Amino acid sequence: MIVVNYLKNMPAWARWMLYAVIGVAVLNIVQGFDDTTLLTAESSSRAMLRWSVPILLAGLGGLFAERAGVVNIGLEGMMVLGMWFGAWGALQFGAWWGVLLGALGGAMGGLLHAVATVQFGVNHVISGVAINILGPGAARFLSSEIFNKKFKSAGGSITQSPRVPTVGRFTFPFLAGGNLFGWKTPDFLGWLSKRHWVFVSHVGGIVRGLVSGMSWVTLFALAMVPFSAWLLWRTKFGLRLRISGERPEAGEAQGVNIYFYKYVGVIASGALAGLAGAFIASAELSGVYKEGSTNGRGFIGMAALIFGNWRPAGVLGGAMLFGYPFALKLQDLNGKASHALLLVTAIAMFAVMVWAMVRRNRGDTALAAVFGGLALLWYLLADTPPTWWAAILPYVIVLVVLIFFTKRLRPPAADGQVYRKGEV
Amino acid sequence: MRTLSRRFALGAAAPVMALVFAIVSSSIVLLLAGSNPLHAYGDMLNHASKLETMVDILNRATPLFISGIAAAIGFRMNLFNIGVEGQYLLAALVAAEVGGVVRLPAPLHVALILLVGMTVGAAYSGVAGVLKVTRGISEVISTIMLNAIAVSGLIVAGLKVLQAGGAVGGNVTRVGTAQIPKSGRIPNLNKIVEIFTRDIGRDRKLTGVLVIAIAVGIGYHVLLNRSRFGYDLRASGANPFAAQAGGVSPKRMILTAMLLSGGVAGLVGMTEIMDSGLFPSNPIQGLGFAGIAVALLGRNSAIGAAIAALIFAFLDISSGILQNTGSASREIVQIMQALIILAAVVAYQVTERIRDREEAKAASAALSGVTA
């Protein structure tokens, strides 16, 4: 109990830092059983960051919409629009235009969602589903008209664009040896990670993966986290946007134009989702627009939003957590890391079990024990680890989080409700 | 009487308006792309008037309709079963495998396959139902997650396991589950149709699942509009507190509606497995989401969903002919479908508001008559 009280009295950031360190320590130990170093490799943390960016941007997109009280299931469709316009803009006008047009393309989807839900009071889920059908359809039509005609000789087709020019990469100066006005700064973390100091060097490598060789869009996405927190919780604008999602009639009584803030929230949501799509088209792996390569990450973004309890820092945490299995899967050629991940899952479930036990919640304790036991059993029995496990892990995590922590989550009070001016 | 006809006109106005809006805006898109919309629509209608195309349209409309009914059951209860997608794929996989392994006389074999499909679909949607009832988790979120888990996890895993032993002759690996023997497959309806028409050519087969779809539609209509249960369901959808005061347990209704919705969803994949006799390695996806669209356009009624399914199927099938004649990009049909849904939901909302306002006006007029 002393431990629990001590943890409770820590500031939130310190607590989460502690959890992160414990997490890395667990990964460090577990990967030894499977004879792999991938779980805590610098390349893994770099890949995790890259995979997290679209999830993070989509999640922040969801944040802006839902804080204004509009549920945005259409993130996926807006992401597809952003991906198409991002690729087209980059091909037509240059890499940075791609980023801008991608955001604009997504914002158009957001505008459509806003008109349907805010103006006409259509159910949010219904409108979102329609946008998820419209987005891929429009992208495909546009591809058939543009990529398959004008860019055909360059390798374009109905489902794919030619190679897209990308925006540059960025490495933090001093921390990871990035350039500062043409001067190559020292690479502190690189130095640290080569020291072979137990654990410390490992952490250095992981952090170095997070601060080096990132796309400028990645930097922007990371900067959006504190910016959103400041904008939504420290400004008048943010207060008004949030009241639109909490108690719009109270805001209305204060003279706040609720419709305006809902529009802004949903359009910003679309722009962020579009940016996520543009990132996929230009900066991720292949550097092409390819049909289906959003791969449900708009939905994972929503999952990150819920996991993060409708807060920017939480969304970042969720995005990192959900990007991690994807990043591992990509490098995990012999499947050992995926196998080790099963044990990590089991340990996490047992941690939940202990948490429930401390709270004297018998039902949850038993349920967590069963989940943990199943994961452990799977880990012990499977010698050919399932490759698809990494692909569904984010969704499983969200379900588990919902099962055990729903009562601790607090969505905006009027989230998903249709608001009509003058009606209570 | 006048108000009744006006009500009907309002009800019909919305979908018609939506269709007109979708046609006009698609025409603009086509014009911008440099195609002649009239040529494109002409080709589409011309193509659809052929017997073979009609068979294609019915074959496509059948699963769309079933999927639409599955979604509509949830909607009637104010439940958003976004998870039809995962439910039908999982159900089809298991049902096809069971059908391929089991040996039974024809009617029993078919019944078993259908039953397995419905059970698996209901079980999978039941997970979302239980989560909602016991933990208060929104079914929208949980079914989205369950969709992803089914599509990129369970189906992939299942196909891998079920294909493992199946090398068919030499080094050709079997794609999909074991072949369902003839006794397990619903015969096609060509013979019946050909009584009235000429012979259906080019190997087109009208799916026998159409009969099941019609049965599902009738069952849905009767259950919802003519039974105590249907009344309770609609009541708890409209106002759960009032229904609870009337003795209807909202939790039980939620769970039942989810199970029913999933059970019907389990039949969506039957068209495909009855046609090919197996669950292929790349099954038709997206029928679940299309079903939501069908339910929306059809306003959750059986007849409405049937019309909506036919419209969507017509558009789907028409994309092929556009490709062949080159009068427009085939992808325009997807845009048209999305525009129809968006326009329809907006139009329904607008007409509903008009109706509400008129009802309020009529009520106040009646009241002022009383007091005066």
Q: Do A388 and B153 touch (CB under 8 A)?
A: yes
Q: Which pair of structure tokens corresponds to residue A157? A: 């087709």
- Alpha helical stretches, state H, A34-123: 42-67, 75-93, 95-114
CA nearest to B144 within chain A? A299
Type of residue found at A128: G
Average pLDDT score, chain B? 86
Assembly ipTM: 0.84
* List of chain B residues whose C-beta atoms are within 8 Å of the C-beta of residue A132: 289
Dist. CA A64–CA A86, nearest whole Å = 21
* List of chain A residues whose C-beta atoms are within 8 Å of the C-beta of residue B79: none
pLDDT at res. B370: 64
Dist. CA A116–CA A122, nearest whole Å = 6
Q: Do A140 and B334 touch (CB under 8 A)?
A: yes
Q: Do A134 and B332 touch (CB under 8 A)?
A: no
Q: Is A75 on the interface with B (CB under 8 A)?
A: no
Q: Which residues contact B139 (CB under 8 A, 6 or more apart)?
A: B74, B79, B80, B81, B82, B83, B128, B129, B131, B132, B258
pLDDT at res. A1: 64
Which of B140, B329, B345 faces A127 most closely, judged by CB atoms? Answer: B345
Q: Do B144 and A133 touch (CB under 8 A)?
A: no
Mean pLDDT in order along chain A per 10 residues (424 residues): 75 82 84 77 84 94 96 94 93 90 96 93 88 89 86 82 81 74 74 74 79 84 95 95 94 92 97 94 77 84 90 92 83 78 89 88 89 90 74 85 84 87 71
Q: Is A326 on the interface with B (CB under 8 A)?
A: no
pLDDT for B205 beyond 70? yes
Q: How far apart are the first and last CA of chain B?
A: 25
Mapping DSSP onto H, E and C, the string for A166-231 reads CCCEECCCCCCCCEECCEECCCHHHHHHCCCCCCHHHHHHHHHHHHCCEEHHHHHHHHHHHHHHHH
* List of chain B residues whose C-beta atoms are within 8 Å of the C-beta of residue A112: 342
* CB B91 within 8 Å of CB B283: no
Dist. CA B232–CA A355, nearest whole Å = 40
Dist. CA B212–CA B219, nearest whole Å = 10
With 0-12 / 13-18 / 19 or more C-beta atoms within 10 angstroms meaning exposed / middle / buried, residue A26 is middle
Chain A nearest C-alpha distance from B30 (Å): 10
Which of B146, B156, B329 faces A145 most closely, judged by CB atoms? Answer: B329
CA nearest to B350 within chain A? A120
* List of chain A residues whose C-beta atoms are within 8 Å of the C-beta of residue B289: 129, 132-133
CA nearest to B157 within chain A? A388
Which of A71, A392, A399 faces B142 most closely, judged by CB atoms? Answer: A399
pLDDT for B172 beyond 60? no
pLDDT at res. B312: 92
Chain A nearest C-alpha distance from B155 (Å): 10
Dist. CA A173–CA B100, nearest whole Å = 62
Give the DSSP letter string of B76-129.
HTT---TTHHHHHHHHHHHHHHHHHH----HHHHHHHHHHHHHHHHHHHHHHHH
CA nearest to A307 within chain B? B141
Which of A121, A132, A399 faces B145 most closely, judged by CB atoms? Answer: A399
pLDDT, tens digit (0-9, with 9 covering 90-100), for A151-161:
888 878 888 88
pLDDT for B1 beyond 70? no
Dist. CA A64–CA B25, nearest whole Å = 30
pLDDT for B204 beyond 90? no
Q: Is A374 on the interface with B (CB under 8 A)?
A: no
Which of A133, A399, A406 faces B338 most closely, judged by CB atoms? Answer: A133
CA nearest to A145 within chain B? B33
Which of A112, A131, A138 faces B335 most closely, judged by CB atoms? Answer: A138
pLDDT tier at B167 (50, 70, 90 boundaries)? Answer: very low
pLDDT tier at B171 (50, 70, 90 boundaries)? Answer: very low
Dist. CA B220–CA B57, nearest whole Å = 22
Which of A73, A133, A296 faces B337 most closely, judged by CB atoms? Answer: A133
Q: Do B290 and A133 touch (CB under 8 A)?
A: yes
Q: Which pair of structure tokens corresponds to residue B250? A: 């909202």
pLDDT at res. A211: 80
pLDDT at res. B361: 86
- For chain B, give the percent of residues with pLDDT over 90: 33
Local structure of A160: helix, strand or coil: strand
Chain A nearest C-alpha distance from B75 (Å): 10
Highest mean pLDDT among A325-339, B30-44, B61-75: B61-75
Q: Do B145 and A141 touch (CB under 8 A)?
A: no
CA nearest to A159 within chain B? B331
Q: Which residues contact B162 (CB under 8 A, 6 or more apart)?
A: B93, B97, B177, B178
Type of residue found at A164: V
Q: Which pair of structure tokens corresponds to residue A96? A: 């940075």
Q: Do A125 and B148 touch (CB under 8 A)?
A: no
Measured CB to CB, residues of chain B less than 8 Å from chain A are 29, 33, 80, 82, 131, 135-137, 140-142, 144-146, 148-149, 152-153, 156-157, 289-290, 292-293, 296, 329-332, 334-335, 337-339, 341-342, 345-346, 349-350, 353
User: Which of B85, B144, B299 to mutate to probe the A interface, most A CBs <10 Å?
Assistant: B144
Q: Do B131 and A399 touch (CB under 8 A)?
A: yes
* List of chain B residues whose C-beta atoms are within 8 Å of the C-beta of residue A392: 148-149, 152-153
Q: Which residues contact B370 (CB under 8 A, 6 or more apart)?
A: none
* List of chain A residues whose C-beta atoms are within 8 Å of the C-beta of residue B295: none
Least confident among B29-33, B163-167, B333-337, B349-353 = B163-167
pLDDT at res. A266: 97
pLDDT at res. A384: 63
pLDDT at res. B277: 84
pLDDT, tens digit (0-9, with 9 covering 90-100), for B20-31:
888 898 889 888
CA nearest to B130 within chain A? A403
CB atoms within 10 A of CB A21: 12
Q: Do A140 and B149 touch (CB under 8 A)?
A: no
Q: How many CB pairs under 8 A join A and B?
A: 124
Q: Is A396 on the interface with B (CB under 8 A)?
A: yes
Least confident among A6-15, A291-300, B32-41, B168-177 = B168-177
Residue with token string 């959006």:
A224
Chain B nearest C-alpha distance from A186 (Å): 44
Dist. CA B96–CA B89, nearest whole Å = 11
Query: Of the candidates B57, B62, B61, which has an alpha carbon nearest to the alpha carbon of residue B45?
Result: B57
Q: Do A141 and B342 touch (CB under 8 A)?
A: no
pLDDT at res. A286: 67
Dist. CA A366–CA A354, nearest whole Å = 10
pLDDT for B70 beyond 80? yes
pLDDT for B169 beyond 50? no
CA angle B13, B361, A254 (to 5 degrees): 95
- For chain B, give the percent of residues with pLDDT over 70: 94
Q: Do B329 and A296 touch (CB under 8 A)?
A: no
